[in-house]
Structures are given as C-alpha cells and as structure tokens.
Chain A
Amino acid sequence: MGAQQLPVAGTAGTDGAAPPIVRLREISKWFPAPRRWRELVRHPRRRDHVQALRGVSVDIREGEFFGLLGPNGAGKSTLFRILSTLVSADAGTGIVCGFDVGRDADRVRDVLAPVVADERSLNWRLSARENLRLYATLHGLRGPARSSRVDELLELVELVGDADRPVSGFSSGMKQRLLLGRTLLARPRVLLLDEPTRSLDPLSARRFREFLRREISEAQGCTVLLATHNAEEALHFCDRVGVLDRGRLIAVGAASQLAGELGGERYVLWVKESDPARFDALGNSGGAVVRRCGHLVAEAGGWSRLELDIPGGLDAVARVLDGLARAGVPVARCERQEMSLADLLEALLERHKRMSADG
C-alpha cells in the first residue's frame, strides 16, 4: 500500500509546482536478522531478514523543507543512508537531481549531503577552520577558492570568532553549526538532517531551526529532508511531512492538514454546566459533528472544561457555540488547541491499521 497522498502534497506536473529533486520509487530494504548462537549452530545456512523499508515512493520538490516522522525503527535512518549511498537498496529506484543513488553514487554525493549529526565525527583536536579546510579539500576545493569558501561558511554558521579554537572546547550548539557548515562546503542541492537538534537545549534547538529555515532553505535554496521526533520542527518548519511506520510510508502532506484531516480541530471550552450527563448533548448541539468529548474538570465558580474535536473549520465552531447559547449554557472562553505530534502519529498509525484491516 502506498502513502496516503493528501491534496496538498502536489506532485510535479499536476499542479505546476517545482519539479521533484528527489524521486523515490518502491524503495525496499531487508537487513539480516540478528541470530542467537544456538540458532547459528542448529541452522548455519538459514538466512533470516527483517524488512526495514517497504516500497517507499515519494517525490520531494526543489527548495522544499520536508520532514520525515515515525516511531523509532520506522526506517527513517535507513532511507537517509540509502540516499547518502552508504546503504544499497534491495529494490526500487532513488533519483537525486537526475542521478541514480545505486549506479551514480559519486554524482549523488556531489549534490546531496547528509549532515552527520554525531559531534564525534568532527576532529576535536583540530580547529573549526582546519576541520572545514580538510573537508573542503575532499570536496575538490583548492587554494584561494577553498580559503574563501571556508571563511564564508564560518561566517554563515556564526563561528568566525571561534574559528581557530580547538573544537573540543565548543558547546553542542556550536558543534552542530560546524557540522552543518561542513556539509554546506560543496554547495549541496539536497541536505539530509537526521534529528539534528536532539542534543541541543530547547533555546539552542529553536535558534538552530530558525537558522536552518532562514539561511539554508530560504537564502541558499537548499532542499532539506529532516528526520525528527520534534513537534515544533515537524508542525511549524516543514512544508510537508511524510510518516513512516515499520518501513512503509503511510502518509504524506502538510502537517497541519494531516492534523485537520485526522483529528479534526481540537477546542477547549470553559462552560457553566453542573450536569455531566448533558455534555454529550451540548457538544453535539448546533448541528456540528463532535467526535470526542474530553474530561470534564469542575473548576472554582462552577466553570468546567469541555474538550471537543470539531471538524469543519470555524463555521462548525460557530454552530457549536450557537447551540450552547440556545441551550442556555454560558461559555466563558473558547480556545483552539493544536494536535500534538504524538497524537498525530497515533491517529495516522490507527488509520493505517484500520485501512490495512479493511483490505
């Protein structure tokens, strides 16, 4: 079963959007399953495999900021390693800027760069400048061109003042910026980031995300693929997200639209009603379909908290409020609550399970 492509996830040639810069078709990958000693002795020739990716197909447009979500073990890192040419796919094709990741690995590495988020992959005994100089040479830059590119990137990642200090004295945020600078040396057109903010404090993580969006995606026009567990990254920074579950891409679309599609929009109403038995009826008043009534907590002064999922946008919300007013229930406050990433993933996985069961 392919990914559920929501309307917002326009593909090339259908909506006049930018052409796909990354095109994956039916990518599958099996890894040998770890075996116990006893099994190895009993069945030395048997080969067990676990499937890490199952027919993943998706197009990613030039300049897009694309998030890859999914629980641990869903296949995000495997997909990134296939795109980085570090792992070979067992089936399917992956095309990056027109180059096949299997057959034209060298060309792919010219245009696509994974940000290796592990800080230890930097040479800590060397300065930031020496680290960049080494990788600039490996990317084929020489002489003045190399020096000016290194200076340019030190400025871009805001490390000019610390350029000649050993990396061992850098904070995690500085190391992440240096890793990013190292990746940008060759002016890649596609950037892969695998949980780049996992080791950063919330403030540094936010600054890093803003830097990514402003400098890398918007100013440099880089296409960014970001694997993340972070709600802020997925819901606010990504143009679209893809959700992987056990190797299968089960949904692709704008995060906000996926949330709206799956969970409706969640609202919290503060109402004055003392009889809990009336709340289902209250929620369904006004002709709106209310999917879920949340917990009711009595507050001081007789005000209670009513949680409602109201699909259908603001018109539906207005109908619910109108219904409450007609029923004579005072409403003190009505707040819209966004769906959390965990709720979104849960809803997507449940829907996928339901659809699989239905055949």
Chain B
Amino acid sequence: MAKIGALVRAAWLAALSYRLGFILSVSTLLFTVVPFYFVANALQPTMAGVIQGEGHQYFGFLIVGMMVVTVVTATLYALPNAISAGVANGTLEALFTTPTPVWVLLAGLSGYEVLFAIVRATALLLAAAAFGAHVAWDRMGPALPILILLILAHIPIGLIGGAMILAFRTAGPLSQIVLTLSVFLGGTYYPTHVIPGWLEGVSGLLPMTYGLRALRGVLLEGLPFAGVARDVAVLAAFAVVLTVASVLAFRAALKYAKRTGSLAQY
C-alpha cells in the first residue's frame, strides 16, 4: 500500500503544481450543474413517467448518470494514459527497474486519476443537492460498494488498453467503444427500457447498465442493498470475468514486450 500511496502522492503533487488547471478541473464541474438543472426541470413532465423505479426526479437521475460517467471515464482511461505517458517520457522504464510488482505500479499510476474522479463526482452530487436534487444520504453506505464494483468492472477494460500500449503502442478502440456505448445505451440520460429491443440486448452487455440502475435505486429510491442485489451480482460477475481476462491479456503483453524489446521503447 505504501508504494501505491507514494505514486498517488507524486501524481497529486504534480497535479497541484498546475494550479490553474487544478482549480478549473474542480470549478468547471460546478458550472455544469446549472444547465443540467434547467434542462432537467424543463423535461421533468415528459420524463417523470419514464424514470419510475430510478427516482422520480429527472435532475437527480441525470446527476447520478453524470457522476458515474465521470468515474467510469477516468477508470477506462487512467491506465492507458499513464502507461502511454510513462513510455513517452521514460518514467515507465525507471519504474520497471525498481523492485516493485507490476500490479502495484499499475494501481499507483492510475490511482490518482480514479480517486480524483471520485472527488469530482462527490462535488457534483453535493452541488446538485444544493440545487435541490433528491438524494437519500442515509444510503451512502450501500452506494459506496456499488461504486467500487463499478470501478472494478471497468478497470480491466483500461488494463487491456494498457496491455495494447505495451505491446503495440496504441490503446486500441476498446475503451472508447465501451464508453460511447455506456453513455448512450447504459442508461446515463434515459433508462435502458426505453431503448429499442435489439439495442437493449447490447445494453445488457454493459456493466454500466447494472451499476447505474443499482446506484439510482439506492441513492434516489432509497432502496436497501438487498433491493438491488440482482444488479449488484451481475456487476460483480462482470468484474470477476473481466479481471481474469485482462490479467491474462496484460501478462501476455508484458511477455511480448520483453521479448520484442518494446517495454520501455518510445
């Protein structure tokens, strides 16, 4: 843990040194709440019937969707971006020559981006609450493990992107495809049951669909953990299966990179 903490701390100090960028990255989030508030209120009469079972207020529905997209985007891209930057500036070579297990390096390199995304998502929720979003604050306890499971289900996709960079110097389209599909078919702006039948099948293949539905059930409907157990179980299954697949892919990529000499080559 100390090694992961040290890498996260270094990334935090580096981010803090870009003062304007740091302030803007937090404050911009607050400004995005305002247009969402007005648009959601304008659409409330239309959407009220559609979002039954996932909160009755469209503003709250949208904000939870945006929160999860913020965290999932960081999770999908943190690792490929960190590996890509590390290869380009030579830090990866230096890190790989320390006696640190690879998984510790990967967790440390991507940790700051994911943690900072969680902070920004929390700020978004607090700002939305100030604008009148109905949030069941007493359900934060069960909401947290669901958010963690959502992250765990998306880290493997980022890991596969990282493996692609190690082996072929490109992250490939996987993260982008998953993010685009998740935003449009995972229930970010509208519930998945309004999607046409054949597309709903695609929606069922996305971890976001289950994570978002469970999170809204808990945070907006005030359901207990047991009330969203089915969605949580599917999310957990995604996390396990994808983790196993991505670890195998990353190991193969690492072996390939060591064999072809591309591990730390620009």
Contacts and interface: CB of A to CB of B under 8 A. Distances in A.
Nearest to A78: B261
Contact of B94 (A106, A110, A116, A133): A116
Contacts of B2: 137, 142
Contacts of A32: 260
Given A88-B258, A88-B259, A138-B3, A121 B91 contact: yes
B13 A126 contact: yes
Interface stretch (A79-87, A153-161, A201-209): A79-87
Contacts of A84: 97
A142 B264 CA distance: 28
Nearest to B15: A125
B98 A139 contact: yes
A138 B105 CA distance: 9
A113 interface: yes
B6 interface: yes
A210 to B, nearest CB: 25
A349 B93 CA distance: 32
B128 to A, nearest CB: 33
A242 B71 CA distance: 53
13 contacts: A84-B97, A85-B97, A109-B99, A110-B99, A116-B94, A118-B89, A118-B90, A118-B93, A121-B89, A126-B17, A130-B13, A134-B10, A138-B95
B97 A139 contact: no
Contacts of A125: 13-14, 17-18
Interface string B92-115: 011111111000000000000000
Interface of B: 2-3, 5-7, 9-10, 13-14, 17-18, 89-91, 93-100, 255, 258-261, 263-264
Given A123-B10, A126-B13, A138 B98 contact: yes
A137 B6 contact: yes
A140 B97 contact: no
B261 A81 contact: yes
A128 to B, nearest CB: 13
A121 B3 contact: no
Interface string A88-106: 1010000000000000001
A135 interface: yes
B6 A138 contact: yes
Nearest to A120: B89
Interface in A263-318: none
Interface-central residue, A78, A87, A113, A182, by most chain B CB under 10 Å: A87
Using C-beta atoms within 8 Å of the partner chain, give the interface range for chain A: 35 or more
Given A31-B260, A121-B93, 19 more contacts: A81-B261, A85-B97, A86-B97, A86-B263, A109-B99, A116-B93, A118-B89, A118-B90, A121-B89, A121-B90, A121-B91, A123-B14, A125-B13, A126-B14, A126-B17, A134-B9, A138-B100, A182-B94, A186-B99
A121 B98 CA distance: 13
A194 to B, nearest CB: 11
B94 A134 contact: no
B264 A86 contact: yes
Contacts of A81: 261, 264
A166 interface: yes
Given A116-B94, A120-B90, A87 B6 contact: no
Contact of A135 (B9, B14, B93, B98): B98
Contacts of A133: 6
A125 B96 CA distance: 21
Question: What are the 4 closest A-B residue pairs judged by CB atoms, nearest first?
Answer: A121-B90, A137-B6, A118-B90, A125-B14
Contacts of A140: 99
Nearest to A133: B6
Contacts of B255: 88
A114 interface: yes
Nearest to A113: B97
Nearest to A139: B98
Contacts of B90: 116, 118, 120-121
A167 to B, nearest CB: 11
Contacts of A137: 2-3, 5-6
A138 B100 CA distance: 6
Nearest to A116: B94
A134 B260 contact: no
A133 B94 CA distance: 14
B258 A86 contact: yes
A186 B100 CA distance: 12
Contacts of A90: 259
A87 B261 contact: yes
B99 A166 contact: no
Nearest to B89: A120
Contacts of A134: 6-7, 9-10
Nearest to B92: A121
B97 A116 contact: yes
B4 to A, nearest CB: 10
Contacts of B91: 120-121, 123
Contact of B99 (A116, A120, A139): A139
A124 to B, nearest CB: 9
Given A32-B260, A137-B6, A109 B13 contact: no
A139 B95 CA distance: 10
A86 B93 contact: yes
